[in-house]
Amino acid sequence: MVKSYLRYEAQSTFGVICSAGGNAVFDHSGRLSITPALDSVVVWDIKKATQVARWKDSDNTAEVTCIARSANDKDFAVGYADGSIRLFDLQTNAVNVVLNGHRGRVTALQFDATGTVLASGARDTDVVVWDVVGEVGLYRLRGHKDEITGLAFVGSGDARNAGAAGYIVSSSKDTLVKLWDLRAQHCVQTLVTHRSEVWALAVSPDARLLVTATSDADLHVWTIAADRLDSVETQEQGSVETQAQEIVETQAQDGTGDQTTTPRSWDAITEYGTVRRSGSSRVVDLRFHASGQFLACLGTDRVAEIFRVRTHHEIKKKMERRQRRNREKQKKGGDGSGSDAEAEPARSITAADELASFQLVRTSAKPVSLDFDPADSDTAALVRRGSLRILLSQNNNSLHVWSVA
């Protein structure tokens, strides 16, 4: 057999602003953008459109697949296609820690509120919890059957302390969303409502709402009962292990490894309803604003939809107006239907009442990721700015910053 040789071989690349393999995020000040650039990470000054730094480990040749921002204002976790994770320091532009614990592409990274614990998910279906300070892996959570697509911490426990309670919510392409008890290191609840792959999840800053997204036109909204989480936290270690054993036995009886949908008294996550999106394409990214007042949903149909989270006072006024209009319509119809309208029972609040479509942002190419400016973390900062700042990365090697008023 004749062996052919290429006349030209690729030696290096240039002009890479943002590769499509990973997500781009703001820094804590909102002035810089941390973006993947093949096997390295580029820090861009957004206002000047200039490169500030480039993060690259000489021992690494794998592509960047995931980036997460820590709460300590300096550390960023970077996941790679070979399963490794590196922690970079924004102040020194150096690699502080290299973590190796996955056998596949890292697809999800999430720091806890203190920035000392990191959770990672990968294509190998495992969730690994890392101690950033000690630079070691704490434990591995196994239960999903396909690639991990999203992670979120729930609760205020310290995952490094085996006696302290805390929880992680994970989503996967196996259509399941799981709630993990970090003290027992077991799954304590599984949501089996989804009929297709769960591509993204987001938890509100007050840990009250959980939103999951699939490839259909609806966002699934769930409520997280903090009192039930607290009740589990205050129990003895033995009772937690008993609950975990009950779950294992239930999974074994099912034969599929999935939990049944029978509600239990200590289930912390309950279904709230669905919210219709403007598009029906697959969701790429889902993210709450730091103030908890907005939710962004990014789809493959080149549309980023911003939802506004209504307050309970606004919801109450809206329902009163709706009931008043219904009574007026029935009175105009006659036939004594006015008395029926007065006897109409009050409708309970649903997810569609709380989440309202606010703005649509259309991109010029297929979007890859979305991030809110963390500098606008409260209502006062939003009022001063007068608009939302959104960072959008696209698969055509471009990075965009939008101001949504």
pLDDT above 50 (res 260): no
pLDDT above 50 (res 342): no
pLDDT score of 326: 84
- pLDDT band with cut points at 50, 70 and 90 for residue 360: very high
Average pLDDT (47-60) is: 93
Average pLDDT (164-181) is: 91
Average pLDDT (269-278) is: 93
pLDDT above 60 (res 265): no
pLDDT above 60 (res 353): yes
pLDDT score of 166: 87
Rounded to 5°, angle at Cα 386 from 384 and 390: 110
Closest CA to 368 of 387, 388, 342, 396: 396
pLDDT score of 239: 44
pLDDT above 50 (res 343): no
Query: Exposed, middle or buried: residue 185 (CB in 10 Å: 0-12, 13-18, 19+)?
Result: middle
Mean pLDDT of the chain: 85
State the Cα–Cα distance between residues 88 and 53, nearest whole angstrom.
Answer: 12
- The region of weakest confidence among 39-48, 140-149, 188-197, 264-273 is 264-273
pLDDT score of 387: 85
pLDDT above 60 (res 232): no
Q: Which residues contact 324 (CB under 8 A, 6 or more apart)?
A: none
- pLDDT tens sequence across 17-40: 999 999 999 999 999 999 999 999
pLDDT score of 294: 94
Higher pLDDT, residue 53 or 161: 53
At residue 73, what is the residue type? Answer: D
